[in-house]
Structure 1
Amino acid sequence: MILLIFSITLPIIFISYLLHKTLKPPKSPLPPGQRPLPLIGNLHHLAAATTNLHQLSQKYGPIIHMKLGPTPLLVISSPKLAKEVLKNQDSSFCSRPKSLGQQKLSYNNSDIIFSPYNDYWKEMRKITSIHLLSQKRVQSYRPVREEEISRMISKIWSFSHAREAVNLSEMAMALGSSLICRVAFGKECSRGFDELLEEVQAVAAAFYVSDYFPAFGWVDRLTGMLKRLERTCERMNLFYQELIDEHLGRKREETAEEGGDILGLLIELKLEQKLHSFDFGWDNIKAMLLDIFVAGAETSSTTIVWTMTALMKSPNSMKKLQNEIRSLMGKKGKVDEDDLPNSHI
C-alpha cells in the first residue's frame, strides 16, 4: 500500500516542481519570448529553426529569450542589436558556450577557438599572430600554396577535358587538407587524415544530452556517443604524438629556421619557455593543432564552394573574374567562351 502511494505521489510532486520552476516569474527582467516547456525548454521551436525564429521575431521583437533545456538563450534578429552584441559588447559575448565534444577535443578548451576570453586566450592569440602567422611567415609558405593550387587546377582541367563532373566540395576539402598538412606538419598527410578530419568534425558538432541536461549525462554513454568521442580523441592524440615525436627526432636547427613548419615552431616555443606567462605544454600544442587543421581546412573549402556557387549564378561576374585573373597571369585580352572549361560542378 505504501509503495502504491509513493508510486502515485512522487511523479505528481516531481511534475509540480518542474512546472513551478518553469512557470514562475523570473527574478530579473528578461526579454520577451515563447514560454518554455518543462525539461526541454524551447527545443521544439528549433525543429525548423529559420522559419520558427523568424515567426517568433515577428511576434516578440528583435531580441528573444529562449531556453535550450535549462540553458538560457538570446536570439538577436536586428542589425542594430547585432552590432551592439558583436562590436560594442564583444567582450561580454565573445566566449563560446561549453560543449562536451569541443571541450574534450580541445584539451579542456586549451586552444584559441574554444577558450573563454581571458588572459590565457590573449597570450595564445599573441603567440599565433607574432610567431605562427606573421606576414613574413605567411609569405614563406607561398610556394606551397602555389604548388597545391596548381595541382588542383590541373585536376579540374583533366576532368573538364574528359567532360566528367567535378565534385568541387571534395576537391576543395582535399586542397585545404594538403595545404594544412604541408604548412603545419611539413609533409603530406595520408588518406586516413581526411577520414579522421571528418570524424573530428562530426563528434565536435554532435548533440550531447549532457550539454543541455547535465543530470542525464549517462544517456550519452548509453547511446554510444561518449564512447565514440573518447575513441576519436584517442586517435587524435596518437596522431599528434606521432607528429611531435617525428619533429623531436629532427635536428633542432631544422625546425627553428624561418621556413620551418608550424608544429616545429610550436615545439621551439615550448622548449624555450621564455615567451609565455603560463606553462606552455604539449596539450597546449595539440590544442593549437586542432584549430589549425580543423578550422583551416573546413573554412577554406566552404568559402571556395560558396564563392563558386555565387559565380555560377552570375555569369557576367564569372567572366569578368576570369578575364581579370588571366590578365594578372599575363594573358591580355578578353576570354573567348569557347576556351573556358566545360566541366559541371
Structure 2
Amino acid sequence: MADFQNYIPYILIGLLSAIMVRAFFTKYRRTKLRLPPGPVALPIIGHLHLLLHGSKIHLVYQKLSCRYGPLMHFFFGSVPCVVVCSPEMAKELLQNQDPVFSNRPKRVVAELLAYGDADLVYAPYGAKWRLMKKLCMTELLGMHTIHQFAPIRREERNRLLQRLLKKAKAGEAVVVKAELLRLTSDIVSRMSMSRRCSENEDEAAEVKKSIQEMSRFAMKLNVADFIWFCKKLDFQGFSKKAKAARDRYDSMIERIISEHEEARRKKEAGDGNGEVKDLIDMLLDTTEDEKAGMKLTRENIKALMLNVIGGGTNSPADAMEWALAELINHPNLMEKARHEIDCVVGKDRLVEESDITNLPYVEAITRETLRLHPAGPLIGRESIEDCKVGGYDIPAKTQLLINVWAIGRDPNYWENPLEFQPERFLNNEGGINRRLNVRGQQFHLLPFGSGRRLCPGTTLALQVLHTTIAALIQCFDWKVNDGGNGKVDMKEGSGSSRATPLICVPVARLNPPPIYTS
C-alpha cells in the first residue's frame, strides 16, 4: 500500500500531461475549422457549467442565441455540440442534411439501458435500425394496429372518467397528472403485454417502475458522458444504479416474454382464436418469420418494449395536464371547445376517436399545447461525417441539439407567441389547418421531431391526446383547489413536466356510461 502511494504523484502528473496534450491538439484542430459562434469555453470542462441549469437549459440556449445567432457551437467537456434555435437552421439540418445527422448521441447510462444498440432510440442508423423503424411504423404502431387497439383505449378512457366521476360525487380533489399517467400507462401496458400496470402486484407495474427509475438516471448530468478520461469511470454511481434497475427490468420482461411463448405453444398451429395480438406477440412473430431478411434478437424485443412503454406514458400525460391547465386559465376557450363538442357529439354519449375529425377546435387545442409545451424541449442528433452548415464546419461526431421549445415560440413565425391561442391552427372557414401540422413537415413546429428520427408513436399519441382532452372537457368542469383566484401556476419543471402538479376538483357535467368491456 505504501509503495502504491509513492506512485500517486507520478500517476497524477501523467494524467495531467495527457489532458494537456489532448487539449493542445484539439485546439490546434479547431483553429483549422470555421466553427459556428459561441461563448468562450473554459479549460477542460468547456461549457459544461451551462448544463448545471438542468431543466432550464433550453432557456439558456434561447438567450444565448440572441447574441450568437441561431446556430451556436459549444464544447461540453471534450464533446463538440451545435445548438439550433431557428426554424431555418432546423430545416437545413433535419431535412437538407438529414442523412448526415441521422444518429442519436449516445450516453453511458442510456447505452446500458438500451442493451447497447438493440433499441430504436439510440441504435446507430443502418440496416438494423431501418428494420426496427419499419417494423414500428407498419406493424407495432401502424394504423391497422392502432385501430385494433381502439377498444383498449376506449375502455381505459372510460375507467378514467369513472374514477373522476367518483371523485366529483365526493367533492374530492384530484392530482390530475397521477390519473392521466395511470391512463397512459394502462393503455400502453395492455397494448404491449396484455396486462394493466396499475394493478400494484402485477409484474407489469414493476416493469413500469423500473423503466421510470432508468429514465431518471438517463436524464441526469453524468460527467462520464463529457470528460473523455472519465468514460470508464463511474464517479457518480449512475451506471451501477442504472444497471441494477435494468437487471430488474430484464428479469421481469423476460418472464413476461416467456409467458407469451408458452401461451403461443399451447395454441393450435395457425389458429389465433380471434384474439388481438399484443406488441410482444407481434415481435415474436417477427423472430419466427423464416422470410425475414434480418431477425430481431431477444435484446431487440426487450429494448423495443422499453422504448414503447417509456415513450408512451409520461409525455402524453404531461401534454394533457398542460392542455387542461391552459384551458382552466382561459375559461372562454374551454367554453368554446365544450360548445363544439356538445354540438357535434351531444350530451347523451361520450366523445369517440371517430368524432375528432369533426372537432377542429379540440384538435387545435392539442396542437397549441404541443407548440408551447413540447414533449421534449430539445431534440438530440449526432453527425455521422464532416459537413458544412451555413458556411460553418461541423466535424463528425458533433452532437446536435434542436431547441424545439424556442422554435415553437419564435416571434418571426408566431404572432403573440407566448399566448395560448388555438385559433392560430384554424383556417378561414373554422376548420383545422391541415397544412400546419405536428408531423415534422413545418420546421417551426416540431414537437415530435422530423426526418428519419421522427417519433414513430406520433399517430398513437395524437389519438390518445385528442380524445382524452375532449372527454375531460365534455364531462367535467374543473375547479382549482388552491383557495386563490382559480388560476393555475404555469411554471415549467424538468423536461416536459409542470413545476407543480395540477390539483383540481372535478365537477360532473354529465355521467359517463358504464365501463366498456366488450
Q: TM-score, normalised by structure 1?
A: 0.87
Indicate which of 265, 289, 295 corresponds to 1:272. Answer: 289
Indicate which of 102, 110, 119 corresponds to 1:94. Answer: 102
Counterpart of 2:43 in structure 1 is 38
Counterpart of 2:151 in structure 1 is 143
Q: Distance in 1 between matches of 2:16 and 2:193?
A: 60
Counterpart of 1:297 in structure 2 is 313
Could you say which structure has the larger radius of gyration? Answer: 1
Indicate which of 90, 106, 109 corresponds to 2:117. Answer: 109
Counterpart of 2:251 in structure 1 is 238
Contact 1:41 1:66 survives alignment (8 Å): yes
C-alpha deviation, 1:324, in angstroms: 2.7
C-alpha deviation, 1:258, in angstroms: 6.1
Q: Distance in 2 between matches of 1:216 and 1:58?
A: 33
Per-residue CA shift, 1:294-322, capped at 9, x if unaligned? Answer: 11112221221122122222212211222
C-alpha deviation, 1:245, in angstroms: 0.9
User: Which amino acid is 2:335 matched to?
Assistant: K
User: Which amino acid is 2:108 matched to?
Assistant: L
Per-residue CA shift, 1:5-32, capped at 9, x if unaligned? Answer: 9799879856754663565452222112
User: Which amino acid is 1:268 matched to?
Assistant: D
C-alpha deviation, 1:176, in angstroms: 0.9
Larger strand fraction of residues: 2
Question: 1:20 aligned to 2:37?
Answer: no
User: Which amino acid is 1:43 matched to?
Assistant: L
Q: Which moved more, 1:35-44 or 1:49-58?
A: 49-58
Question: 1:341 aligned to 2:466?
Answer: no
Contact 1:18 1:39 survives alignment (8 Å): no
Aligned alpha-carbon RMSD (Å): 3.0
For structure 1, the residue ranges without an aligned partner over 5 or more in a row are: none
| Greater relative contact order (CA < 8 Å, ≥ 6 in sequence) | 2
Q: Distance in 2 between matches of 1:40 and 1:256?
A: 60
Indicate which of 315, 321, 339 corresponds to 2:331. Answer: 315
C-alpha deviation, 1:212, in angstroms: 1.1
C-alpha deviation, 1:238, in angstroms: 0.8
Counterpart of 2:216 in structure 1 is 202
C-alpha deviation, 1:59, in angstroms: 2.5
Q: Distance in 1 between matches of 2:61 and 2:72?
A: 9
C-alpha deviation, 1:94, in angstroms: 3.2
C-alpha deviation, 1:323, in angstroms: 2.7
Indicate which of 168, 175, 194 corresponds to 1:186. Answer: 194
Contact 1:101 1:205 survives alignment (8 Å): no
Q: Distance in 2 between matches of 1:171 and 1:292?
A: 20
Is the alpha carbon distance of 1:340 and 1:293 closer, same or farther for their aligned partners in structure 2, counting shifts above 3 Å? Answer: closer
Q: Distance in 1 between matches of 2:130 and 2:241?
A: 32
C-alpha deviation, 1:129, in angstroms: 2.2
Q: Which aligned pairs between 1:44-83 and structure 2 lie closer than 5 A?
A: 44-48=49-53, 49-83=57-91
- Provide the secondary structure at the position in 1 that maps to 2:40: coil
Counterpart of 2:280 in structure 1 is 263
Aligned length: 337
Q: Which moved more, 1:199-208 or 1:10-19?
A: 10-19
Q: TM-score, normalised by structure 2?
A: 0.59
